[in-house]
Amino acid sequence: MAYDTSTGYAAPSTSNFQDTEASLPMFNIERVSLQFSVSSDFVAAAVANNVLILALSTGRILRIDLDNPADIDDIDLPKRPSEIGVIKRLFLDPSASHLIITTTLAENYYLHTQSRTPKALSRLKGVAIESISWNPSQPTASTREILVGAADGNVYEVYIEPSSEFYRREERYLKGVYKTNDGPVTGLWVDIIPGRNDLRRVIVATPSTFLHFAGKVGRHSHEGSGSIFSRLFESESATVHEVSNVSPGATSLLTVSPESQETPTLDHTNTERIFGWLTSQGVLHGKLYLSSDTAEIGGKVLSDSKMLPRSQIPPSQTASGRTRRTQEPVSSMILSQWHIMQLVEGRIVAINRLDDTVVLDQVVLEPGQSALGLVADIKKNTYWLFTNQEIFEVVVTDESRDVWKIMLKAQQFDAASQYAKTASQKDAVATASGDYLVGKGQYLEAATVYGRSTKPFEQVALTFIDKGEQDALRKYLLTKLSTLKKSATMQRMMVATWLIELYMAKLNTLDDTITTKAELSESMNTAETQDQLSVIRKEYQEFVTKYKSDLDRKTVYEIISSHGREEELLYFATVVNDYNYVLAYWVQRERWQESMDVLKKQTDPEIFYKYSSVLMAHVPTDLVEIMMRQTNLDAQKLIPAFLNYNNITKAPLNQNQAVRYLVFEINQHQSTDAAIHNTLISIYASHPTSDESALLAYLEGQSYANEQNYDADFALRLCIEHKRVQSCVHIYSSMGQYVQAVDLALKYDEIDLASSVADRSHTEPALRKKLWLAIAKKVISQSSGIKTAIEFLRRVDLLRIEDLIPFFPDFVVIDDFKEEICTALEDYSRKIDELKKEMDDSEETAAHIKTDIKALEQRYAIVEPGERCYVCGLPLLARQFFVFPCQHAFHSDCLAKKVVELAGIAKGKRIAELQTEVSKGTSVGPKREKAIRELDALVGSACVLCSEMAVKLIDEPFIKAMDDKEEWAL
């Protein structure tokens, strides 16, 4: 055999056996062009998971990866065909991991996907394998437990595990678990039944018998240590289906539909598959139901299955164009998702298993050409036809395209809707389904279906109205509303409004039924009516919540109000956030607790402003409690409500809710709004209580905080009007009007209050004395005796007895306060003596100063002829100089330069200006003399070496950079 390794298995080149139509045909048979040549014919083939296995008559095996066609493995059997026979069958598991090869001489071999050397299955030697059921878990490392059907009717359980050891058998164990008496086992199938891990279904097929087993399998502590299917076959009896008049030599086989690609899952063991059993009478097919009730599952599978008779296959045409009269044999059969494909002589016939219609009848083989059979890749949903020399692929395109029509024709509307893909298809299904349900009187079910269809709205609505089916009409409108586009505003609003009317009518009907304790029907009592009322009310609430944007508020209010449905009315208003309406509703009915419940959920300030007056009048405490939790209220807009509340309430100040909120606004929100503060003062001042401690505490708090956020004139007028003396005095004092404060306090005989003002008035002594004199006058005028006045005098240090004498009445005898007069005179005498002593000390000091001045006039200093300037070191007498009492002497220009260095910038600048003025002679006469005197005063004011200016030199080094350091060397 030779083949082209550069191209390998190339992409298919096709020749269609079906005319190309505007739309792709469902089945298209394509001949695969092989890019390699072989010297012998194909004798067997298998496909799984996109891996193609071809067996040649020479005993060679080709393993081709269809995803990578260039990847071809060429594998030889250990012995020649003359020794072991020609390969008869290939069994490839769905994962393409395990391959079992059987020959015409009943020699069997095993090949793992990761191996290139087939291993002989010694335990199976001599077993003519007809069928294999792979483990449903589809393992890849080993086969685990599989069933093998033999030509002699035996069913074996075998566990194959690949091994690299030469002497070790591939089969871990082999055991015969069942035997039929009806010929060879042509088909086996095992799957897992959901519910428990030890539940299995096993199907055994022979040419005449179909056996369905279901039950528990055995368990072993160690996997592969023994048979698990023995228990099933021993303990369970099979559900059997037999066919009669079996033709000898007729092909018999069992096949199962591929894994569904429409709903891909990682685990296909829990999906119901379709089986097909080919017999000489036809194909028995049905659904492999999954149920944990193993006793009934077999009966259900067979009872719901149906036979596709051989006669359903159309006869072929002879060469002369005549139809054959004899029934042609079926040599192979496979299942797709929806069709049964059979190889009849040289043609492929595909029949829809739902309605038995023939969708494909295509001649593929040339006359006299033989075929190996049809093969399906149940993993990848591909279908193949193999001959001795050629490969054909049956390409299936959109296989489920007509399923919806078949389901619809069979009145399986749910299934038809599931498989309808386009909008028109779904609409056709919905319309037909709705008509069918209406015909059967199932109006509620029809309503939902009609809602998804395009059947004219008015026809459907009139149908339900004529039948009196209001519930069905409501359900239809709900479904229709959910399908209308958002852009269809008017239609959505009309349908939604109609639904409101229907809901209200239904609720009223149920309420009337409950009220009259009547029964809606023989099977519904009052309790059931109550439950239905709750269901409809909840349904209404869900409806308005979902479709509130499609409802006009005013219209809905009118509809619900006309039915008198208070609860539904308020629920709708709440859903659309029309809390203004809800609050107004409760306020009008003076339902204050409900009003508060609504207000608690609000954050819109306007609602608080609108209803604050009425709510403050009836539920002030609750309202203030709610308002204090708000952060966006303008307290100024609440002032009218507070004033109105204050006019009607008789609560004490500590329970006044207006005061409570205003104080909260001032203390917590730090409000500086004058209107807020003035309102609080107004309430404090106008309250009938005589206790003004609260007002006074507020005013004092403002003073302590160095604030005055209220209008002082307004507060003063109110306090005067309501005779709040202490507060008035405090306001006067805070304004600095101490005289008015004391006069007001004295007017109301508040001596202590006036005294406290005079004590804390931090003013000049004259004003304080004036205040105390006014107080003293009041005290003296009110006192019953001189002693009281004298005691008051002792409290004040600014007043003397002589200040108080004018205030005493004329009849007062001086003897009454002679002690005070004597004390005052003694004080004056002491002060006069102290003043005299101070005058004597001052006179003595003046005499000393005069003596010192005369001594300064005669002071002089002696300058030696060789004395030098302490700055430049040159002879001092060379030019004008200064001599200080400390005996330091400097040239005047040297001293001026030094003073400029040490003095500040301003003084140095002034010295430079005066030097320029004197040296250039810009001024003459008295002006020049004045400049010279000023210059001498600035320069010669102090010695630069021992005066205060020398202290500034403390941080300068003794030796400077320009000095000769050798002179300072030690």
pLDDT in tens, 515-539: 776 554 444 567 777 888 889 899 9
Rounded Cα gap, residues 397 and 24, in angstroms:
7
Give the 3-state secondary structure of residue 647.
Answer: helix
pLDDT at res. 12:
33
Q: Please give the average per-residue pLDDT across 565-593, as a whole number.
A: 85
pLDDT of residue 682 exceeding 80: yes
Cβ(412)–Cβ(432) below 8 Å: no
CB atoms within 10 A of CB 529: 21
Rounded Cα gap, residues 209 and 240, in angstroms:
7
Using pLDDT thresholds of 50, 70 and 90, give the confidence band for residue 269: low
The bridge status of strand 42-48 relative to strand 72-76 is unpaired
pLDDT at res. 134:
96
Q: Please give the average per-residue pLDDT across 897-909, as a whole number.
A: 79
Tokens at residue 708, please? 């005055």
Rounded Cα gap, residues 573 and 581, in angstroms:
7
Counting beta carbons within 10 angstroms of the beta carbon of residue 649, is it exposed (0 to 12), middle (13 to 18) or buried (19 or more)? middle
pLDDT digits (tens, 9 = 90+) for 916-927: 887 776 666 788
Cβ(271)–Cβ(264) below 8 Å: no
pLDDT of residue 54 exceeding 80: yes
pLDDT of residue 820 exceeding 70: no
DSSP codes joined into one string, 754-791: HHHHHHH----HHHHHHHHHHHHHHHHHH-SSHHHHHH
At residue 765, what is the residue type?
P
Distances (CA, A) of 959 to 743, 943, 966, 968: 78, 21, 11, 8
pLDDT of residue 807 exceeding 70: no
Cβ(259)–Cβ(271) below 8 Å: yes
> Residue 298: which H helix or E strand, with range?
helix 294-304
Q: Show the DSSP H helices in 64-190 as ranges.
A: 81-84
pLDDT at res. 163:
81
Tokens at residue 66, please? 């269809």
Pick from 265-274, 507-516, 947-956: least confident:
265-274
Rounded Cα gap, residues 648 and 627, in angstroms:
20
* Strands (DSSP E) found in 244-344: 253-256, 274-278, 282-287, 306-309, 330-335, 339-344
**Mean pLDDT, the chain, integer:** 82
Tokens at residue 374, please? 């049809």
Considering only residues 734 and 930, tell me which one the structure prediction assigns the higher pLDDT.
930
Cβ(160)–Cβ(172) below 8 Å: yes
CA-based R_g, the chain, Å: 61
> Residue 89: which H helix or E strand, with range?
strand 87-92
Using pLDDT thresholds of 50, 70 and 90, give the confidence band for residue 963: low
Nearest by Cα to 385 from 5, 27, 2: 27
At residue 143, what is the residue type?
T
Using pLDDT thresholds of 50, 70 and 90, give the confidence band for residue 816: low
At residue 617, what is the residue type?
A
pLDDT digits (tens, 9 = 90+) for 174-223: 999 999 988 999 999 999 988 788 899 999 999 999 999 999 999 876 78
pLDDT of residue 649 exceeding 80: yes
pLDDT at res. 342:
95
